[in-house]
Amino acid sequence: MTDEATPIPDYPFDQPHVLEPPREWAESRSKCPVAHVRMPSGDVVGLLTGYDEVRTLLADPRFSRDLSRKGAARLSNTEDGGLFSRTTAGTADIQEGPGHQRWRRLLSRAFTVKKMEAWRPRVQEMADELIDAMLAKGAPVDLRQELALPLPVRVICALLGAPSEDQEKFAYWSEVALTLTKYSQDEVDAAQQAFMDYASDLVEQKRAHPGDDLLSELTQISDSQDGRLSHEELVSTARGLLLAGHETTSNMILKMTALLLSERERYEAVVADPELVTGTVEECLRMDPLAGVGIPRFITEDIEVGGEPVGSGSSLLVNLAAANRDARKFPEPDRFDAHRDNSSQHVTFGAGPHFCVGQTLARVELKVVLDTFARRLPGLRLRDTPEQLRQREGVAAGGLQELWVTW
Amino acid sequence: MKITVDQDACCGSGLCVLRADRVFDQREEDGVVMLLEEAPSTEDFEDVRAAAAGCPTGAIRLAE
């Protein structure tokens, strides 16, 4: 419910520091199931912060993820309204419904728990190489440049069969794609075109000379009799995996490291007992204090959320990280507890049919990084205080600008 | 305890396998859930309950 006398707050909210969530999360959760906030575009959306409401909404097929629909809220200040409003060639049939499920199942086979566990030794090797180089360089180093960015890029490139030398290009195109306020429409258009051209060339190469990688496998499926993915669908898939495969994971590696080292006993517990790696990774994912803007949905019929009516044609924004601190689901939600029994039920990777397809890979990467830190760098420390850390501004992916460490 | 899974709703997250790999597996061709044990042994009850509660699409049903 919106009180007429209260102005609609701007979103994303400010936070005390990068590791401490905005106070508004708890306030809006306790006040009403749907709070109203103003996006950088100027559009007003309903914000969801309760665990049950968030899960229910994300699992309900009546709520569309297609924000290019007429009347849907725009998130960014670019004319096109940002990532979620942008129409991309080759996504119309695989975005929702049965077409999405068909597409998803083609990808899911590459991300099963067993497939990802088989990748673990390669991820470990890449992490060790990067850490060797970091040690040779000497402290202090910016962990973003030395590990958090290159590791996920190398992993996703190896998985897809893309050359990792092009990592700076993906990093730039991805950041531009995620703009809220940082880039202009012209920059967005140019980067989008360049990224699509690059992905298209890559798909053509894989089609002509298939290797032992996911993209080659997908081109062979799309070329077979049933023609399950068109060229455009493959191109948008390749681009999506390159973008999602490193942006989110590299941000999370830094946030995990900062969350643990800023309260050192959390890190020391893992050093003393490597069995705690999994529980610690899950608790860091749950407590992510810089989770980006959230996930928007366009409401296609009149509904109720937590007893409050939401009209057809309105837009809701699901704040996953706020839902992860709902005390009804996670008692004492602001307390870090590596032994918390249900911490892996966080919604950091979403919920419902669009649940993050790469989360098994992200989990393996995070576990490898933490396990390797604990074994090889027990003395790892932050150079700066949490108050001195700066977040990446103006983009929809929540992360740290840099994270300097010593050991 | 009797478990049923809805393979049509399953999104292939594999979270159930991570939690209870004696009871759940994934089809190799598309990652969809496979039930290894319809009636798990009591020592797996806790993990199966957690797997059902944590399933991103609610595709695991329990009758106890």
A242 and A149 Cβ atoms separated by less than 8 Å: no
* Cis ω before B40 (30° cut-off from 0): no
Query: Is-contact A243 A179, C-beta < 8 A?
Result: no
Residues of A in contact with B57 (CB under 8 A): 59, 351-353, 355
The minimum CA-CA distance between B45 and chain A, rounded to whole Å, is 14
- pLDDT, residue A225, reads 46
The domain in which residue B42 lies consists of: 2-63
- If you measure CA to CA, which chain B residue comes closest to A97? B9
3-class secondary structure, A293: coil
In this prediction, residue A223 carries a pLDDT of 58
Cross-chain Cβ contact B31/A112 below 8 Å: yes
Contact A257, A143 (CB under 8 A): yes
Asked if the Cβ–Cβ distance from A344 to B54 is below 8 Å, we say yes
Task: State the nearest Cα–Cα gap between A339 and chain B, in angstroms.
Answer: 14
All residues at 6 or more sequence positions from A229 whose CB lies less than 8 Å from its CB, including other chains: A94, A103, A106, A218, A221, A222, A237
pLDDT at res. A5: 58
State the residue for tokens 């440049």.
A145
Count the domains in chain B. Answer: 1
pLDDT of residue A224: 53
Most A-contacting residue of B7, B10, B13 (CB-CB within 10 A), to test interface? B13
The pLDDT value given to residue A39: 87
CA distance B62 to chain A (A): 17
For chain A, the residues whose C-beta falls within 8 A of a C-beta of chain B are: 59, 104-106, 108-109, 111-114, 341-342, 344-345, 349-355, 357, 359-360
- DSSP line for chain B: -EEEE-TTT-----HHHHH-TTTEEE-TTT--EEES-SS--GGGHHHHHHHHHH-TT--EEEE-
**Cβ contact A96:A60 at 8 Å:** no
Chain B, window 15-34: residues with a beta carbon less than 8 angstroms from a chain A beta carbon = 15, 17-19, 21, 26, 28-32
User: ipTM for the complex?
Assistant: 0.95
Pairing relationship of beta strands A141-142 and A404-406 according to DSSP bridges: antiparallel
**Residue B51 banded pLDDT, cuts 50, 70, 90:** very high
**Is the CB of residue A297 less than 8 Å from the CB of residue A63?**
yes
CB pairs under 8 A between A and B: 67
B53 touches chain A (CB under 8 A): yes
The CATH number covering residue B7 comes to: 3.30.70.20
Q: Which residue ranges in chain A fall short of pLDDT 70?
A: 1-5, 83-87, 222-227
Q: Do B54 and A342 touch (CB under 8 A)?
A: yes
CA distance A352 to chain B (A): 4
Question: What's the order of all strands across the beta sheet hosting A44-48?
Answer: A35-38, A44-48, A315-318, A295-299, A63-64
Domains of chain A are 23-406 (1.10.630.10)
